[in-house]
A and B are shown apart, each in its own frame.
Chain A
């Protein structure tokens, strides 16, 4: 039971078209760019196509649940489904930023050395940072700082994303709050 196996199950859901478009998000996506940090679960950003919307606006993830049950994964956790030992949370796109992140996600090989390649979609660094800024919990701020310290995000592309999604002010406020020198204001 490994995280790689969990991701493989997600790729199978995509192959079966149970999820139309997906990208690994959150802490596991950040792994692709920065040093590993402990996380409790795997976040998967998914497109809305193929899911029924309840009158309340809630999206019903029945097709995922059904497909997972057919594959033998029936256990639920407090955050979602347990797949290969890892809690997995499927997060439908909830903003234009999510939508853009999903469209521009990159394919990354998650196979261990010596194994056949296994491509999975992962959010780009600038979308991970912009989303972390938008969410703004302490752990998101730590994540942003790690991206900056480890030069793991293209600042020009990040600025474009922040501007496009009106996150410039939030970015400025974050820099003031954390004492980080705003890289966009460096001379």
Chain B
């Protein structure tokens, strides 16, 4: 039914504009941004690596039991 849901088009337009502004930065600025991004996700990456190790250890243990 028309008018039942809000119009999100402005939100998406603002997001697209934000992406265009980021795209317009210099290569050097984007490289620095990537360094910061990478640093920010490091805890998540480390946790993922730990989980992988745990899973591998569990699999090895299960295989040894079998």
Contact = CB atoms under 8 A, between A and B. Distances in A.
A4 B28 contact: yes
Given A36-B37, A38-B41, A149-B16, A4 B32 contact: yes
Contact of B31 (A3, A146, A150): A3
Contacts of A110: 27-28, 31
A122 B22 CA distance: 19
Interface residue tally on A, bucketed by range:
20 to 34
Nearest to A29: B27
B51 interface: no
Majority SS at the chain A contact face: loop
A44 B28 CA distance: 17
Interface string A100-112: 0000000011111
A122 to B, nearest CB: 7
Contacts of A36: 22, 30, 33-34, 37
B28 A31 contact: no
Interface residues of B, number: 17
B34 A109 contact: no
B34 A28 contact: yes
B66 interface: no
B37 A38 contact: yes
A89 interface: no
Given A149-B16, A150-B19, A7 B38 contact: no
A113 B28 contact: yes
B14 interface: no
A3 to B, nearest CB: 5
Interface in B18-40: 19-20, 22-23, 26-28, 30-35, 37-38
A150 B13 CA distance: 12
Contacts of B28: 4, 109-113
Contacts of A112: 28, 32
A3 B35 contact: yes
Contacts of B37: 36, 38
A32 B27 contact: yes
A178 interface: no
A112 B32 CA distance: 8
Interface of A: 2-4, 7, 28, 31-36, 38-39, 108-113, 122, 146, 149-150, 152
Closest 10 CB pairs of A and B: A35-B22, A31-B30, A35-B19, A35-B23, A3-B31, A36-B30, A32-B27, A150-B23, A36-B33, A2-B35
